[in-house]
Structure 1
């Protein structure tokens, strides 16, 4: 099986459930604690392309950093939004699993099984 990576926040129940589901299916993924080891802008951009979503769709819009930094502003470029996610990693959707050249957000956790 190809390498599997999970961008994980252990404080998030969906992230914990997704990691557990992977392990129950015999997958020991590389765990990236993205709040501590924030992916660079280029990696985030690649994940977004793999997911087939917009940069804004990949953001957690309910986070205080979204409101505090006026990220709702529609004039902001994708690069500016990506830079905000690098600066404030809580804005990154979670959990994200990468496998076999594809990516899925683990909401619901079972969605990640499609790419294994």
Structure 2
């Protein structure tokens, strides 16, 4: 399985996550989901791989979330899926899939749990040095 990142280059967290993946020596498949949106089944599969409901993939920031009433807890999974499929900007990012799992990587250092152990220091999203457990 390849490493895949659902990426928005305008997002700092997404850029940092991509940099951490590359620092691990991995060149991921980069899916710029605003240019090439995943279809309904791919969105459903991402949520399933994460073990999360579709609501967990929703980006709540921005006017569109509010305009579409997506905060309504009565919305069904299908209605949420319809909204994400119709408006890919509603897909939270970055989502990373590796052989070790699939996660929403917010903050960006969340991706470290999906990568093979690294040696040396790793910088986090805010530039701080990270020394995660299990990393040399």
Residues 55-93 of structure 1 show CA distances to partners (whole Å, capped at 9, x for unaligned) of 112111122111111112222210110110011111111
Q: Which residue of the partner structure matches residue 82 of structure 1?
A: 81
Q: Which residue of the partner structure matches residue 48 of structure 1?
A: 47
Measure how far apart 1:25 and its partner are.
0.7
Please give the TM-score of this superposition, normalised by the length of structure 1: 0.92
For the aligned residue pairs, the C-alpha RMSD in angstroms reads 1.3
Q: Which residue of the partner structure matches residue 16 of structure 1?
A: 15
Contact kept, 8 Å, 1:34 with 1:89, in 2: the verdict is yes
Q: Which residue of the partner structure matches residue 118 of structure 2?
A: none
Measure how far apart 1:53 and its partner are.
1.9
Larger radius of gyration: 2
CA distance in 2, matches of 1:47, 1:3: 14
Q: Which runs of 4+ in 1 moved over 6 A?
A: none
Residues 4-44 of structure 1 show CA distances to partners (whole Å, capped at 9, x for unaligned) of 00000000000000001111110100000001111011111
CA distance in 2, matches of 1:79, 1:59: 13
CA distance in 2, matches of 1:110, 1:73: 30
CA distance in 2, matches of 1:28, 1:9: 16
Please give the TM-score of this superposition, normalised by the length of structure 2: 0.79
Kindly indicate whether structure 1 or structure 2 has the higher relative contact order, using CA contacts under 8 Å at least 6 residues apart.
Answer: 1
